Structure 1
Amino acid sequence: MSDDHHRAALAERAARAGGVVARQQFRGDLAVETKDHKNDLVTEVDRDAQAQVVATIREEFGSDAFVLEEEVVTLSGPETGETDPAVLDEVPETGDAWVVDPIDGTANYIRGMRTWATSVTAIRDGDSVGSATYMPAAGDLFAAGPESATRDGATLAVSDRDDPETFAVAPVGWWDRDDRSEFADLCGAVVERFGDMRRIGSFQATLAFVADGGLDGAICTTPMNPWDTMAGVHMVRQAGGTVTDADGERWRHDSETLVASNGEAHAELLAAADDALDA
């Protein structure tokens, strides 16, 4: 097994391990905390699931770096706030690392809704080589390696629709209260140009659904985090889809916008993003 295939397989195993931790507390009593604002939520389960993902990966790649959604401290120094030196603030441009979102869709998780995921991506030199999005409450594991993408072992393929008026497209991202007009502009652009709109509540689940053909596209016109995007972007591409920024340039982990599609009418999604940004 090549190193890339090994890492892709480990991404699946680590996502399952973290997802099992989260599933055990799903619809249970949760102590909910806020981070940057009242709708930016976290629970102890997020941190426990993340710790399980990291521990699973470190069994095989003990010196690799991590980019994590939730803050961590060393086992020996929580009182001093000493940070783990292998946890990075941003995706490195060189070397091997792992990007982890222990519960993508925490708001759904807290509300008892089934659409949430544990997401793990193995990256090399800034690009994904293997990724997994495990949705324990729904019972699905989406995964992508160096050459393929699957859902529960079956090959993934984006939809073959080519008429935008039949597309289901999801706006994704988060806007502060003062910027909600930008969200409204994006929703308006989507409903004007496409057949239907979905709002899933989990960025990684949304991208997995594009890869699986359930959605025909997704648009984000606001800056995003790598743990919300990198796994799903890799899946969409491996499933035959297209992912760019709003200017049509190849999407990277540091892009400020994202447009994902089945590739059949990508220009129409770019036009919708342009409508929203120019409104």
Structure 2
Amino acid sequence: MTAYDDLRDLARDVALTAGALVRQMRADGMDVAATKSSPTDVVTAADQASERLLRERLLDARPQDGFLGEEGDAVEGSSGVTWVVDPIDGTVNYLYGDPQYAVSVAARVDGRSVAGAVFQPPTGALFTATLGGGAWLGERRLAVRPVVPAAQALVHTGFGYEAHVRARQAAAVAELLPRVRDIRRPGSCALDLCALAAGWCDAYVEEGPHLWDHAAAGLVATEAGARVEVLDPGTGLDLVMATPEGSFSAFRDLCEACGFVGDGAGNTSG
């Protein structure tokens, strides 16, 4: 038992409920409701409905807490706990019927995630974690893979939606590809970090995720033995990087050599 088990249980319950909603909405058919950074960066009615449900359930259960979601306004709380949610991480995958999307719910205290859940509705995979209490996939405790040389590393990454950002990211990935085992682009930051936690890849690097993308999954990865950092690459976007603790420095150096990290980049959060 940890001090944050109740927060984890609430995160799990509301993630499962929101996941059932978005899965049903996908089965019923859905449309693009809006776009964000570009015409390819979409918001669906399911994103909006999921966030409304998450906000209502969390603040009904804990009305003094704060709330931050991808699609709506922030709510200031007085309890010291703030919920950070992504109603659908991987919306384009969701739009196309690709199962690589998730509902992500994290509880944060003093700017640090202390409990979280990441639920993948199409597969039923449920990742949970508490600070100091480990990370879990269902009933299985998670642990990252042993450290491997970069040439043997399977790396997950992602791309932004604006053309000039994608061009820069593509150049960095092209430099990285011949130096590692292979690269995957599933399309969900939350599931990428959970994959690292589960031992399904060796590293993750992506420029552009927001706090709600990694607030819960970053805790899952960290509690499974990963080092997760949010770096400032000097582009105005965050760079999320994660590997097993023992390989982080070498992977960061490699990514810097490939153009992911500019000179003088610093850590912007733990």
Counterpart of 1:53, as a letter, is L
Q: In the alignment, which of 130, 146, 150 is matched to residue 164 of structure 1?
A: 150
User: Aligned partners of 2:27 and 2:12: how far apart in 1?
Assistant: 24
Q: Shift in Å at residue 31 of structure 1?
A: 1.6
Alignment partner, residue 115 of structure 2: 130
Q: Does structure 1 residue 271 correspond to structure 2 residue 247?
A: no
- Give the conservation status (yes or no) of the 8 Å contact 1:27–1:112: no
Q: Any unmatched runs of 5+ in structure 1?
A: 73-85, 249-253
Q: Provide TM-score, normalisation by structure 1.
A: 0.84
Counterpart-to-counterpart distance in 1, 2:4 and 2:88:
24
The one-letter code of the counterpart of 2:203 is G
1:41 aligns with 2:45: no
Distance 1:258 1:218 in 2: 8
CA-to-aligned-CA distance 1:149-196 (integer Å, 9 cap, x gap): 000121011111422222110123415112322111221233132101
Amino acid at match of 1:193: R
Q: Which residue of 1 aligns with 2:26?
A: 26
Q: Any unmatched runs of 5+ in structure 2?
A: 264-270
Which amino acid is 1:235 matched to? V
Deviation of 1:55 after TM superposition, in Å, equals 2.1
Q: Could you tell me which residue of structure 1 aligns to residue 62 of structure 2?
A: 61
Partner of 1:81: none
Count, aligned residues: 256
Q: Percent identity?
A: 27
Report the Cα distance in structure 2 between the residues aligned to 1:206 and 1:66, rounded to whole angstroms: 24
Pairwise CA RMSD: 2.4
Mapped partners of 1:238, 1:153: distance in 2:
15
Higher strand proportion: 2
The 8 Å contact of residues 17 and 56 in structure 1, kept in 2 or not, is answered as no
Deviates more, 1:18-27 or 1:51-60: 51-60
- The answer to whether the Cα contact below 8 Å between 2:127 and 2:137 also exists between their aligned partners in 1 is yes
Aligned partner of 1:257 among 224, 239, 245: 239
Secondary structure of the structure 1 residue equivalent to 2:4: helix
Q: 2:21 and 2:180 mapped to 1: Cα distance?
A: 38
2:41–2:161 contact (8 Å) kept in structure 1: no
In the alignment, the residues of structure 2 paired with residue 26 and residue 235 of structure 1 have an alpha-carbon distance, to the nearest angstrom, of 27
Matched residue type, 1:121: A
Structure 2 length-normalised TM: 0.87
The one-letter amino acid paired with 1:68 is G
Pairwise CA distance, 1:246: 4.6
